[in-house]
Amino acid sequence: MRHRNAGRTLGRSSTHRLALFRNLTRALFEHGRITTTLAKAKELRPFVEKLITVAKRGIESGDNIRALHARRLALQRLHDKDTIAVLFKDIAPRYKDRAGGYTRIIKLQNRRLGDAGFTAIIELLKEGEVKVQAKKREEAPAPAPVSTPASGTPK
């Protein structure tokens, strides 16, 4: 039973899964958008968004010690100094006024060749861009009043 085991294992050990997330994050920060399976994209989103939040905290604080601490926290999760430099220099300032939701997942219709896995695009939002919300359903018009025969009329 999988009671209290949150998250997808993606058929990998925990260290392999962490390495996968690091590689996908590195590619996402470098290219801005990547195509992967839907399950990987959904698991990658919290990993990436937490990194961006840590980077935002580091650039928002005027204190050099807090900025250094944020860099070390990001480096602890990502293990790549070049990507951390891009994260703190380019990506985090882009979202300084945003309270979360830095990525978008777009499901693709076509399946992956070979195993027919569901594919998706995960991308970083542009500065000032908002997520597209689903259209609100219009309310149905009120039903027409039902006319009843007046009481007391002879039959």
The most confident of the ranges 49-53, 131-135, 138-142 is: 49-53
Mean pLDDT over each residue of the chain, to the nearest integer:
92
Give the confidence band of 155 by pLDDT, cuts at 50, 70, 90: low
Q: What is the pLDDT of residue 137?
A: 77
Looking at the chain, the whole-number percentage of residues with pLDDT higher than 70 is 94
Q: What is the pLDDT of residue 147?
A: 78
| Domains of the chain, each with CATH number or no CATH | 14-124 (3.90.1030.10)
Q: What is the pLDDT of residue 63?
A: 86
Residues 6+ apart with CB under 8 A from 62: none
CA-based end-to-end distance of the chain:
70
- Residue-wise pLDDT tens digits, 23-72: 999 999 999 999 999 999 999 999 999 999 999 999 987 789 999 999 99
pLDDT greater than 70 at residue 151: no
Give the CA distances from residue 127 to residues 39, 50, 53, 106, 130, in Å, rounded to whole numbers and listed in that order. 26, 18, 15, 18, 9
**Strand residues in the chain grouped as ranges (E):** 33-37, 103-111, 118-124
Q: Are 80 and 26 in contact (CB under 8 A)?
A: yes
